[in-house]
Amino acid sequence: MISKSLLVIVFSLSVALFLAPVVAAYVPHVGDYFSYYEVENLGNGTGSYAGYTEQTITNGMETMNGVGADGTVSANYTYAWTWNNSTGATETGSSSGNFTFSSVTFLYVNGTDNQTGYVNPTVWFYMDNSIPESGTFYLLDTEMTVTSKNYSYYLPSENRTVSAIFAQGISNYQRNDEYGQFTANYTWNAYFDPSTGYIIGYDYVEHDTNSSGDGFTYTDNLYVNSTSYPLTTAVASNSGGNSFPTQYIGYIAAIVLVIVIVAIITYAISKRSKKLPEHPSQQHPTPGPPPEDINLNPKQPPVQQIVIKEVVKVKCRYCGALIDSTAEVCPFCGAPRS
């Protein structure tokens, strides 16, 4: 039988195992950086956009240069881009600068990395890595939901699958710019490093339509080329979203480990040498040695003695019958023996 103290130990181990995956939010360090490759495409046009396409390729880098006591991060950005469309037009350009953001609120504080068209946005490249599954946060002005804390993301730049936090945002807005006026519906899938919360990659798909029948599809795909933070190779890839085994594998492993611990303890206790209790029960006293006057030899019935008596016979002189030599008269004729 397992003692109460042993059960307390097992319970404590169980609690510790379940709490182990919980991590504190990462705070950026001086020297953190990542470089990235980004491709934006416009196509699948209808109406006035039928047959029209364009593409923008961007190579950039974000670097963290300082972290204040209040969590304000001083950062630098730089990128270069090339644009072309189906009419043969081509343009190139670049941009760079400094900005600050809060690692507490994740909002841009002073300047941005050239983000336009947003009101008080959050950064797009960094999240609170301690947010649990089903938790929410913002990228720019899109609300994202954490779908998986252990997602397998294929990273093209390294030709391998890495472990990632997978978050998704689905929303819409009214576009009114050089492309025209459209209702835009989009899905934004973003992938972050579980240990730091920095971006690993994202996939953005937007469908724009209007009442005149004009429309197009806009996509934006980005992934990192190099990082200051090491990326962990995933155990197994999952191309279609979060899988049950990877989502719950930590909890299953913890349960199995607790069961194994209890089984080992139970087996060890059963192998201990058994001994009589110090105070035997009065209903079942411990037997002592037999009394000295008791003969433990098996009992046998008494031997019967048979005495055989020999008698001498003689002939009667009158009738010739055999009679005892001690008889006075013949029992047959009555004549005296002598």
pLDDT for 197-218, tens place per residue? 999 999 999 999 999 999 999 9
Of 39 and 338, more confident = 39
Does the pLDDT of residue 256 top 90, yes or no? no
Chain centroid to CA 165: 16
Does the pLDDT of residue 189 top 50, yes or no? yes
Per-position DSSP letters for 47-88, written without gaps between them: GGGTT--EEEEEEEEEEEEEE-TTSEEEEEEEEEEEEEETTS
**Closest by CA position to 186, among listed 219, 211, 215, 213:** 219
Nearest-angstrom CA–CA distance, 49 and 18: 54
User: Do the Cβ atoms of 100 and 108 come closer than 8 Å?
Assistant: yes
So what's the pLDDT on residue 219?
Answer: 98
So what's the pLDDT on residue 23?
Answer: 57
Domain over 25-249 is classified CATH 2.30.230: yes
Q: What is the DSSP letter of 170?
A: E
Does the pLDDT of residue 227 top 80, yes or no? yes
Q: What is the DSSP letter of 49?
A: G
Does the pLDDT of residue 154 top 70, yes or no? yes
* Global confidence as pTM: 0.66
Of 311 and 134, more confident = 134
| Residue 17 binned pLDDT confidence (cut-offs 50, 70, 90) | very low
**Closest by CA position to 182, among listed 54, 89, 47:** 47
What pairs with residue 100 in β-bridges?
74, 110
So what's the pLDDT on residue 280?
Answer: 40
Query: Which tens digit of pLDDT belongs to each residue from 305-328?
Result: 555 555 677 777 777 777 777 777
So what's the pLDDT on residue 56?
Answer: 98
Chain centroid to CA 64: 34
Mean residue pLDDT across the chain: 82
Nearest-angstrom CA–CA distance, 64 and 73: 7
So what's the pLDDT on residue 43?
Answer: 97
Residue percentage of the chain with pLDDT more than 70? 70
Does the pLDDT of residue 273 top 80, yes or no? no
Amino acid at 313: K
Who contacts 169 (Cβ-Cβ below 8 Å, separation ≥6)? 139, 142, 143, 144, 145, 187, 188, 190
So what's the pLDDT on residue 41?
Answer: 98
So what's the pLDDT on residue 235?
Answer: 84
Phi and psi at residue 56, to the nearest 5°: -130, 130
Please provide the size of the chain in residues: 338
Cα dist from 89 to 54, 92, 111, 207, 292, whole Å: 9, 11, 31, 24, 122
The encoded tokens of residue 81 equal 């881009």
Q: What is the DSSP letter of 275?
A: -
Does the pLDDT of residue 275 top 70, yes or no? no
The answer to whether the Cα torsion of 219, 225, 231, 236 is positive or negative is positive
Who contacts 268 (Cβ-Cβ below 8 Å, separation ≥6)? none
Helix axes 4-19, 244-270, angle to 10 degrees: 160
User: Do the Cβ atoms of 81 and 114 come closer than 8 Å?
Assistant: no
Amino acid at 148: S
To which residue do tokens 């429309």 refer? Answer: 215
The encoded tokens of residue 101 equal 């953001």
Nearest-angstrom CA–CA distance, 297 and 306: 26
So what's the pLDDT on residue 318?
Answer: 77
So what's the pLDDT on residue 336?
Answer: 79
| Residue 24 binned pLDDT confidence (cut-offs 50, 70, 90) | confident
The encoded tokens of residue 170 equal 């689905």
So what's the pLDDT on residue 263?
Answer: 65
Domains in the chain: boundaries: 25-249, 305-338
Query: What is the average per-residue pLDDT within 13-40?
Result: 77
So what's the pLDDT on residue 270?
Answer: 55
Nearest-angstrom CA–CA distance, 85 and 167: 31
So what's the pLDDT on residue 253?
Answer: 64
103-117, 151-165, 230-244: lowest mean pLDDT where? 230-244
User: Do the Cβ atoms of 206 and 217 come closer than 8 Å?
Assistant: yes
Residue percentage of the chain with pLDDT more than 90? 62
